[in-house]
Structure 1
């Protein structure tokens, strides 16, 4: 079988208790039959236009020869490097596909000017850009496209032969790209962004980069029957029940890559689960962890551990004394099973897994700040060269960096979590990811880590719409060099600042504690930050 699941402990209890009802309610076959009533009357109108992902393998097959033909054309033109401008599902899916296949793909899912400049400055003469946006109006992707168009023209390269667009039919980007003469792939409009891995959004950049996308579709197709049948052995039903039906509910899900050949899968699953389930005061918080993460030895009662392995075993409910979920399988099979499991979890949680009602609030706040472009609010104080800002309860009792961090963690309840959000150039400051483990050691609670602004298209929905138990640590960096955006009144530096400030304001409006640390000299400030956390 191309997918295996083993569940023990609380997860096994949840599956034993819940799966028979899911089977008798014909949930799996209902999903496959595109039944929008499975998530209740309030979700029905949205679900009616968002179930196309169940048919993605068949719908996407005709794309494969077109993608391969374009790849051959680009090869003949000397293109050896593919850059992907995309956010959320548009970038996370191709990233895991190409990493697992060992194929190079430059993923540009940041508005940090340094990271954009790095993408522009690497062998531009051998580069093609894939612009990937479902709505066709994503501000990050639009800005990235504009600077690449300018760079191509300044280098004497016709953008028409170097820019490929993936978008929904009829979107603003669809119209403008066709008018400009770009090669356009239309994706299935009945598939939401986070479910789009097996559509043009996942396949076009991956195929152009050199992945065998036909094999990926074959892997998914091999699982299609197993997830569609109303059977107690349906892995989608088992996984959905295991992550959403524990009693009491374990609403934090540790995603641990533990020997699997698949690279980066938890980052893709994080968006799928968080954005699908985190709303109306509930949700499952994915926590991406390494095998030696502090949380794994804390025995946290609200943390369900799930390990991605290369052999999960052959039984569904083993009794080996552990208390966890183990899954294994081919990449295509994993994608399809997790999509089914996520919408099953949505049914069990009583929410609509297809909308994202709280994402737009941060976008509106960002647009407002970009329109006005006010001066940044003055720092409450500066400690070790780091500007410190935050909500009143956090800053009120703080006098230096260490006390500000302590004040934030004091707002953390016994069932809470910490979200670390790094709005920085992750190519220049990869070591900043080490903050996650230090905060976990301090807080003794689950800690998520997200690179900004990409997490706004991922866990950002759950932060505002899920249970109000999170505290938020923003880390910003003063850019060493800024970059203008053609025909826009703001720069990339101003854009990423507005995105961080906008999200902080929305979190504060929702009553979430926020601490914002701005590194004025990132290289020099890192040591002070790590020192305060220790």
Structure 2
């Protein structure tokens, strides 16, 4: 059986058993009046406990229209930047804002450097570029954005900039009245107010994402037009693709299919899968419930064809297209602006179905507080992190694990096989790489290798996810701690050969990065999650070793 729901340029195709499961949930959503209630911004949709926060977080529903008020401000900033020769745009942000802006620019072919990292190698690579042409957009007050703001401020000053010349090298996006907004005013940085009733996770079409994209050359009006085309359908009980997708996601999370395998198959929307991953995992993964997104490289990648507790989603396939992946449970096609609104609405609906608050992130706070505790120091001294001797060393790779966690493994290959074999039944393995997304890009290739190993080391292969640290902390990190307790974790850190001090802070980027890694690892282990850390004494050599061990 196949169901196709089309409206506003979006097509959602649902096949097989998903149709029956989703239709039951869909009927209940319609009878409860959810489409009208959500379109009317009724905060009690997610229960009385969630209502106070939800009342302050539903502005994303209106962004296809309200964000048009940014047009003149963005046009003015773009003209000023071009006149000053500033055409190298760097975004210092975190979470959904960074991922949405990255998707917009990759899809449009616009150049934007996204820094949502504390890796000193990656940041040093950007600092080594042409600073004379560089404009930095700072979004929000995360520890990453704050550190990068300080690092670039020093770099510009060392390049001889000061006064008004230095001030205009930054554009700040922050809520009016916030500490960052006040600091921007004092420094003379241009400020674009961020919507107070929208957060980064659900705010793909808001100022937090659009400012950097517009400065990089993206036609944001076209994105808003695409979203507006879908917006009219969101009040409808039927012929509403976002409601149908939300019912499918919610019914999966209620049943045994609590993993969502996402593969792009010719959508042309580069980066959309990564943005959707942070939305689904962060909004739904809490209170022991949720839906874990597993982004794979293609429909031919290891892990896409796994059966059992997985629901598959194809991005880009229309219902009449033949070819690989046609049997996927859900296929979604449509332009990027409409996709942002589609997924935000669908995930909000799915959270209603499973009974969680989509707008809070209680377990992200735990890792943040653990990191802060590690960074806390006396009399301005640099923070220290206690490093225990590794359980195993092979070449450039150290293996750090709790006692007896490796099951007597004597080689790196045996340690990896033990970790994969010990993934709980019905669980997953998450690879968390605190490395350089550019210089250490080979780390992403470990996901398919581990997924293939899981197919031989286990009777029932486990899904394998991959995330860059600290990016994943604002995305799947919420699910890791708050979702079903069935994950195992492989964290990877690397030696720092060229650290970057953070002006005004008693730590460097390398120390901050290690504190973030250790802080999250400490929380995972305190929750009883199996977690192993690999430390690469030499990054390139260590990654090559890992690939060889898995091959």
Question: TM-score higher than 0.5 here?
Answer: yes
Alpha-carbon contact 2:171-2:189 (below 8 Å) kept: yes
1:95 positional shift: 0.2
1:387 positional shift: 1.3
1:496 corresponds in structure 2 to: 513
CA distance in 1: counterparts of 2:262 and 2:61, whole angstroms: 24
Matches within 5 A, 1:480-491: 480-491=497-508
Which of 424, 433, 439 in structure 2 is aligned with 1:422? Answer: 433
Cα distance change of structure 1 residues 127 and 89 upon mapping to structure 2, 3 Å threshold? same
Alpha-carbon contact 2:314-2:328 (below 8 Å) kept: no
1:520 corresponds in structure 2 to: 537
2:176 corresponds in structure 1 to: 169
1:459 positional shift: 0.3
Which of 127, 131, 136 in structure 1 is aligned with 2:134? Answer: 127
1:241 aligns with 2:222: no
Match of 1:253, SS state, is strand
1:527 positional shift: 2.3
1:339 corresponds in structure 2 to: 344
Matches within 5 A, 1:389-404: 389-395=400-406, 397-404=408-415
Question: Which deviates the most, 521-530 or 90-99?
Answer: 521-530
CA distance in 2: counterparts of 1:474 and 1:243, whole angstroms: 28
CA distance in 1: counterparts of 2:326 and 2:128, whole angstroms: 53
CA distance in 2: counterparts of 1:399 and 1:306, whole angstroms: 39
1:378 positional shift: 2.4
1:94 corresponds in structure 2 to: 101
Cα distance change of structure 1 residues 147 and 330 upon mapping to structure 2, 3 Å threshold? same
Aligned residues: 524
1:385 positional shift: 2.3
2:474 corresponds in structure 1 to: 457
Which of 324, 330, 338 in structure 1 is aligned with 2:335? Answer: 330
1:310 positional shift: 5.0
1:463 positional shift: 0.1
1:293 aligns with 2:278: no
Alpha-carbon contact 1:256-1:266 (below 8 Å) kept: yes
CA distance in 1: counterparts of 2:182 and 2:427, whole angstroms: 45
Match of 1:294, SS state, is coil
1:41 corresponds in structure 2 to: 48
Cα distance change of structure 1 residues 356 and 384 upon mapping to structure 2, 3 Å threshold? same
1:410 corresponds in structure 2 to: 421
1:18 aligns with 2:25: yes
Which of 367, 374, 379 in structure 1 is aligned with 2:372? Answer: 367
CA distance in 1: counterparts of 2:365 and 2:536, whole angstroms: 28
1:202 aligns with 2:219: no
1:109 corresponds in structure 2 to: 116
Consecutive unaligned residues in structure 1, runs of 5 or more: 315-319
1:85 aligns with 2:96: no
Alpha-carbon contact 2:451-2:462 (below 8 Å) kept: yes
1:317 corresponds in structure 2 to: none
Alpha-carbon contact 2:446-2:547 (below 8 Å) kept: yes
1:297 positional shift: 2.8
1:349 corresponds in structure 2 to: 354
1:347 positional shift: 0.7
Match of 2:287, SS state, is coil
Alpha-carbon contact 1:244-1:250 (below 8 Å) kept: no
CA distance in 2: counterparts of 1:245 and 1:453, whole angstroms: 31
2:4 corresponds in structure 1 to: none
Q: Tell me the alpha carbon deviations over residues 38-86 of structure 1, each in whole angstroms, 9 at most, x when there is no partner.
A: 1112211111111111111222111111101110011000111100001
1:149 aligns with 2:153: yes
Cα distance change of structure 1 residues 186 and 312 upon mapping to structure 2, 3 Å threshold? farther
CA distance in 1: counterparts of 2:171 and 2:328, whole angstroms: 46
1:56 aligns with 2:63: yes
CA distance in 1: counterparts of 2:305 and 2:314, whole angstroms: 14
Alpha-carbon contact 1:404-1:515 (below 8 Å) kept: no
CA distance in 1: counterparts of 2:66 and 2:396, whole angstroms: 54
1:393 positional shift: 4.4
Alpha-carbon contact 1:132-1:165 (below 8 Å) kept: yes
CA distance in 2: counterparts of 1:290 and 1:476, whole angstroms: 23
Alpha-carbon contact 1:88-1:271 (below 8 Å) kept: yes
TM-score normalised by the chain length of structure 2: 0.93
CA distance in 1: counterparts of 2:403 and 2:266, whole angstroms: 44
TM-score normalised by the chain length of structure 1: 0.95
1:477 corresponds in structure 2 to: 494
CA distance in 2: counterparts of 1:248 and 1:88, whole angstroms: 28
